[in-house]
């Protein structure tokens, strides 16, 4: 395939604060590029980017992150650090017996700190999963688009993972909430070895729809469920980096 996944982009009313939160929580460096501040992942970990825009709406966001835990102490440290950095507890209807902890980041996006011993996320790394709303067709589309195999395909739920391992991306299957406005979260791709429009045309042949051109010149498309994503020319890693490294949950 001629596209590579770089990050999931989140809109935020204060993207600087959100970037600092996640840089500290995950112990990542902040890389400045032409699209803004990126928290690149290593060893198959998904990159994160926060850009100016609308705040997240807990309970209505179409994607959320799952962080893994080595043991109970690690889970407790991750939660405590997130709260110290500006996160908060969030009630989305979880049951008292559930062992995962649901939090919201300063930008209003929910995320879960998963309990240790979760076999499904074993070996995925600290950022274990990006879980989203989507039909099975969307999981199949992204498997083809990225060249990532399906690692889960049951009861209309799907998940994909890079052949090299790392963060999984999953879709929960129907019913999918109706989409009434552009998403606040979207996947960010770069074209590899070909121009961005050629890469976009390849994705269109797989089932995507072209929406327009972004302010940064990226091609904006939508997947079969109408979720926007972008594809740009190669650009990441070409500029200087700065590091934001307060105490992290993994230290």
* pTM of the predicted protein model: 0.90
pLDDT band at 88; cut points 50, 70, 90: very high
Residue 34, pLDDT > 90, answer no
pLDDT tens digit string along 61-77?
Answer: 999 999 999 999 999 99
Residue 251, pLDDT > 50, answer no
Taking the C-alpha atoms of residue 216 and residue 35, their distance in angstroms, rounded to an integer, is 7
pLDDT in the model for residue 98: 87
Q: What are the DSSP E strand ranges found in the chain?
A: 3-12, 29-33, 36-39, 47-52, 63-67, 88-89, 101-104, 110-113, 127-132, 150-154, 157-160, 168-171, 185-191, 209-213, 219-222, 228-232, 241-243
Taking the C-alpha atoms of residue 210 and residue 204, their distance in angstroms, rounded to an integer, is 7
Residue 249, pLDDT > 80, answer no
Determine how many CB atoms are found less than 10 A away from the CB of residue 191: 23
Residue 25, pLDDT > 70, answer yes
pLDDT tens digit string along 157-213?
Answer: 999 999 999 999 999 999 999 998 999 999 999 998 778 889 999 999 999 999 999
pLDDT tens digit string along 93-136?
Answer: 888 888 999 999 999 999 999 999 999 999 999 999 999 999 99
pLDDT in the model for residue 94: 81
pLDDT tens digit string along 209-235?
Answer: 999 998 888 999 999 999 999 999 865
3-state class of 138 per DSSP? helix
Q: Are strands 157-160 and 168-171 parallel, antiparallel or unpaired?
A: antiparallel
Rounded to 5 degrees, what are φ and ψ at 101? -115, 130
Comparing CA positions, the residue from 162, 140, 175 lying closest to residue 45 is 162
pLDDT in the model for residue 1: 66
């Amino acid at each position: 395939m001629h596209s590579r996944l770089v990050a999931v982009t989140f809109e935020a009313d204060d993207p600087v604060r959100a970037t600092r939160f996640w840089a500290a929580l995950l112990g990542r460096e902040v890389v400045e590029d032409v699209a803004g501040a990126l928290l690149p992942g290593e060893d198959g970990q998904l990159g994160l980017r926060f850009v100016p825009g609308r705040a997240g709406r807990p309970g209505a966001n179409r994607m959320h992150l799952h962080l893994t835990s080595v043991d109970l102490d690690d889970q407790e440290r991750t939660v405590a650090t997130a709260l110290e950095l500006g996160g908060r507890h969030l009630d989305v209807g979880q049951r008292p017996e559930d062992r995962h902890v649901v939090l919201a980041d300063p930008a209003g996006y929910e995320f879960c700190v998963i309990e240790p011993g979760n076999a499904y996320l074993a070996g995925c790394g600290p950022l274990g999963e990006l879980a989203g709303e989507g039909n099975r067709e969307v999981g199949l589309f992204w498997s083809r688009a990225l060249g990532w195999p399906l690692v889960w395909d049951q009861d209309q739920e799907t998940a994909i993972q890079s052949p090299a391992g790392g963060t999984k991306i999953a879709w929960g299957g129907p019913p999918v909430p109706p989409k009434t406005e552009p998403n606040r979260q979207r996947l960010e791709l770069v074209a590899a070895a070909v121009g961005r429009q050629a890469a976009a045309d390849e994705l269109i042949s797989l089932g995507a729809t072209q929406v327009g051109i972004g302010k940064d010149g990226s091609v904006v498309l939508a997947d079969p469920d109408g979720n926007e994503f972008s594809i740009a020319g190669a650009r990441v890693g070409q500029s200087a980096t700065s590091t934001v490294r307060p105490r992290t949950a993994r230290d």
